Structure 1
Amino acid sequence: MRDVGGFTTTDGSTVRTGLLYRSAWLADLTPEGARALTKLGVRTVLDLRDLREIDRWPDRLHDLAATTAHHPMLPQGGADHYGKPLAEAYRLITDTAADSLPALLRRLAGDETLPALLHCAVGRDRTGIAVAVLLGALGVRDEDIVDDYLLSNLGLGVLDGPQEYVDAHGVTRLTDVVGAELITGALAVLRERHGSGTGFLAANGFGADDLAALRARFLA
């Protein structure tokens, strides 16, 4: 788990800290962990996982007084997206992004959402793309977006070798080190379709007023 804030934007603003955190799933959250989230003021948990994952491994919030919201980042409908090469999975995520990301960002810009915790399963791929689009919309430089994405290699412990995780079907798989090309490739797909990251958002209903509200919420 880490704070999404702290970055400087191209216009010299700063992404506020203490508003949005990113993590892996909360299925193994302990009561002590829930108390730590309470101290951080977390009031919304934003889950990017498949409905099957949520059903099999629901978040355990204990006494955390938080609203939960579901913004799936993979196509729904029964297809098996797990075990695919990551580059292919990232392309699938970009296909879903037109529906999921504008709604997610609009929720983040709202009055009742923050501070919030954003997560998928391991907290790197779906969460990584969502955070990258958010930071891009706020005006954070691409090199900083990539650096933030690559921090998950350290957080997941994969710099010491592949780590096991369990997919939505209960199959144990391995997650390994990722490179910058995955996140830059995903962003390139979104930008090529609409000219820019903000163009992608605008084309899917997240207009200038929405963007202004998001920036007002996150930038200092």
Structure 2
Amino acid sequence: MIREPFLNTDGIHNFRDYGGWKVEGGGNVKTGLLWRSGQHVGASEADLQAVRALGIRTVVDLRGVSERDRNPCKRPEGFDGEVFFYDGETSSSPPHMDVDEGTTTEEFARQRMLGVYTRIPRNVAMISMFAQYLRLLAERDGPSLVHCFAGKDRTGVAAMLMLHVLGVSRENQMAEFLRTNHAPTLEVLAAQSVPGIEQRLGRKLDDGAIKALLEVREEYLETFWQVVEEEHGTLDAYIEGTLGVDELLKEQLRTRFVA
């Protein structure tokens, strides 16, 4: 197994290296090049120094314009890499769902998250960003970072797609996805998100709802895979036909990121 993947941070949730996984056919995904996280709006000075030491050259911000406006990310002093983002909204949140007296907030949260993962593979903005992310990884030198608001849903899918292209097994794609639940910074995400959700709902979330919203479950990623396979046949067909990642680009990625 790979070394401790999480970067020690004060105000950034779920910052970790998602390399190190075994590749089917031989080799491992290189470490130190593929980073993922939540947003950096609450980054401490120590966080920024730790991020600066990673030498990140490419940042792919999967948040939409309103998220970026509300939560501007901090970057290390002297950061001379490039940040890529979508000029519009990217959220795959479902329409408003009422929580009536017969519905627990946990079940509301679960259904909301399943709705998110049903929409992600069809979301035009996310298709564009996933495709751009994979192209940038093939084209640009140095370490990269992909992040969204929480660093677990849109970012989790982006990391899964990259690992799939590199030849990591589905079992380990899921293991990387679920590693989010071991992030030592859940309180950072909770502080950034729970008060706003409770205000919009007009009621408190129970502990199960908070876990359903802020962590990940196997059924979330399985929902993404199910939608893709129902509509495209296979994940490979989706990556090739919808994201435009052909064999040449796949080989470039494998050459660059597998050792």
Kindly report which structure 2 residues correspond to 1:55-204, keeping only aligned pairs within 5 A, or say none: 55-63=69-77, 64-71=79-86, 75=90, 81=94, 85-96=112-123, 97-112=126-141, 114-155=142-183, 163-166=190-193, 171-173=196-198, 174=210, 175-204=213-242
Which of 32, 39, 51 in structure 1 is aligned with 2:53? 39
Q: What CA deviation, in whole Å up to 9, does each residue of 1:89-145 have, x standing for no partner?
A: 111211124332122101111134x30111111111111111111111111111111
Q: Give the root-mean-square deviation of aligned CA atoms.
A: 2.7
Identify, as 1 or 2, the structure richer in helix.
2
Runs (4+) off by over 4 Å: 71-76, 79-84
Aligned residue number for residue 10 of structure 1: 24
Change over 3 Å in CA distance of 1:149–1:62 after alignment to 2: same
Identity %: 28
Q: Which runs of 5+ in 2 are unaligned?
A: 1-14, 98-111, 199-209
Aligned residue number for residue 248 of structure 2: 209
CA apart distance, 1:12: 1.6
Tell me if the contact between 1:137 and 1:197 (Cα under 8 Å) persists in the aligned partners: no
Identify, as 1 or 2, the structure richer in strand.
1
Give the AA of the match of 1:122. Answer: A
Distance in 1 (CA, whole Å) between partners of 2:87 and 2:28 is: 28
Paired positions, count? 213
Larger radius of gyration: 2
Q: What CA deviation, in whole Å up to 9, does each residue of 1:148-169 have, x standing for no partner?
A: 11111121666x9x945438xx
Please report the TM-score for the alignment, with normalisation by the length of structure 2: 0.73
Residue aligned with 2:121, SS: helix
Which of 43, 58, 62 in structure 2 is aligned with 1:48? 62
Kindly report which structure 2 residues correspond to 1:11-26, keeping only aligned pairs within 5 A, or say none: 11-26=25-40
Change over 3 Å in CA distance of 1:58–1:176 after alignment to 2: closer
Q: Which runs of 5+ in 1 are unaligned?
A: none
Change over 3 Å in CA distance of 1:82–1:30 after alignment to 2: farther
Please report the TM-score for the alignment, with normalisation by the length of structure 1: 0.85
